[in-house]
Amino acid sequence: MIHLKIDGECVEVPEGTTILEAARKLNVHIPTLCYHEDQAVKAVCRICVVEVEGQRLLPTACNTPVSEGMVVKTASPKVIKARKNVMELILARHPQDCLICSKNGSCELQKVAKDLNMNQPNRYELTLRSTKKDESSPCIVRDMKKCILCGRCMESCGKVQGIQVMAKENRGFHTEIVPPYGKDLVDTSCVGCGQCVQVCPVGALSIRDNTDEVYRQTAAGKTMVIQMAPSVRINLAEALGQKPGTVSTGKIVHALKKIGFYKVFDSDFSADLTIMEEGTEFLKRLKEGGTLPMFTSCCPAWVKYCETYGPDLLPHLSTAKSPQQMFGSIIKTYFAEKEGLKREDICSVSVMPCTAKKFECKRPEMKDDVDIVITVVELAKMIRTAGIDFDNLEDAEFDVPFGLGSGAAQIFGITGGVMEAALRTVYEVVTGNSLEERLEFTAVRGFEGIREASLQIGDLTVKVAIVHGLANAKKVLELVREGKADYHFIEVMSCPGGCIGGGGNAPTTWKKLAARRDAIYQEDRNLPIRKSHENPYVQQIYKEFLGEPLSEKSHELLHTHYIS
Ligand code: HC1
Ligand code: SF4
Ligand code: SF4
Tens digits of pLDDT across the chain (564 residues): 999 999 999 999 999 999 999 999 999 999 999 999 999 999 999 999 999 999 999 999 999 999 999 999 999 999 999 999 999 999 999 999 999 999 999 999 999 999 999 999 999 999 999 899 999 999 999 999 999 999 999 999 999 999 999 999 888 888 999 998 889 999 999 999 999 999 999 999 999 999 999 999 999 999 999 999 999 999 999 999 999 999 999 999 999 999 999 999 999 999 999 999 999 999 999 999 999 999 999 999 999 999 999 999 999 999 999 999 999 999 999 999 999 999 999 999 999 999 999 999 999 999 999 999 999 999 999 999 999 999 999 999 999 989 999 999 999 999 999 999 999 999 999 999 999 878 999 999 999 999 999 999 988 899 999 999 999 999 999 999 999 999 999 999 999 999 999 999 999 999 999 999 999 999 999 999 999 999 999 999 999 999 999 999 999 999 999 987
- Residue 357 bears catalytic tag: yes
Per the residue annotation, which of 108, 155, 277, 281 is the catalytic one? 281
Q: pTM for this one?
A: 0.96
- Ligand 3 pocket, mutate which of 352, 494, 517 (most atoms under 8 A from CB): 494
- Residue 287 bears catalytic tag: no
Distance 334 CA to ligand 1 centre (A): 21
Cis peptide before 244 (omega within 30 of 0): no
- Residue 37 bears catalytic tag: no
Torsion of CA 6, 9, 10, 15, to 10 degrees: -20
- Residue 298 bears catalytic tag: yes
Distance 300 CA to ligand 1 centre (A): 9
Helix, coil or strand: residue 78: helix
Distance 200 CA to ligand 1 centre (A): 23
- Domains located in the chain, CATH noted: 2-91 (3.10.20.740), 98-207 (3.30.70.20), 212-558 (3.40.950.10)
Residue of 418, 419, 414, 417 whose CA lies nearest to 502: 414
The strand pair at 460-468 and 489-493 is best described as parallel
Q: Which residues contact 393 (CB under 8 A, 6 or more apart)?
A: 251, 254, 255
Whether residue 413 has its Cβ less than 6 Å from ligand 3: no
